[in-house]
Amino acid sequence: MAATGKITITVEVTINAPIEKVWTLFNSPAHITQWNAASDDWHAPYAEIDFREGGKLICTMAAKDGSAGFDFTATYHKIIHHNLIEYTLDDGRKVSIRFSRHNEQVTVAETFDAESTHSIELQHQGWQAILNNFKKYVEAH
């Protein structure tokens, strides 16, 4: 429980790749569209980033069959190269992403404010699945 009374959730993966590669693939729109999905029946057909403090992140997430979709939008408020990204989603929730180096591995840990529509378990599973897809993408790329 955060001091604000909001529930926060943390997901993480350890990736077998150097920080430079992890950072680049995590923050490049061309790559985000390749890995940002929680399941095989969803995808991210569009991503746009103004990667600077005060800049915007926009990523369209959609069912491949066209039955559902939404824009994941946020404003960056802190970026520390190869270490930390913090942004606020347009609904006011905060997200913090830490990149920790361990030799030729990088642990990526995302902590985010939970929303009230879906269960904590479902949110954890969805964000973890996306991060797992990122790990697979980086290690195969």
Does pLDDT of 1 surpass 50? Answer: no
Percentage of the chain modeled with pLDDT above 70? 96
Strands (E), 5-104: 8-15, 42-49, 56-63, 69-80, 84-89, 94-102
Nearest CA to 141 out of 12, 51, 64, 30 is that of 30
* Confidence at residue 5, expressed as pLDDT on a 0 to 100 scale: 63
Share of the chain above pLDDT 90, in %: 93
Torsion of CA 113, 117, 121, 126, to 10 degrees: -80
Length in residues, the chain: 141
Provide the pLDDT confidence category of residue 3 given band limits of 50, 70 and 90: very low
What's the pLDDT score for residue 6? 85
Q: Is 82 left (phi over 0), alpha (psi -120 to 50) or beta?
A: left
Question: pLDDT (tens digit, 9 = 90+) per residue, 22-74?
Answer: 999 999 999 999 999 999 999 999 999 999 999 999 999 999 999 999 999 99
Token representation of residue 16: 């077998």
Average pLDDT over residues 81-100: 97
pTM across the whole model: 0.92
Q: How confident is the model at residue 109 (pLDDT cuts 50, 70, 90)?
A: very high
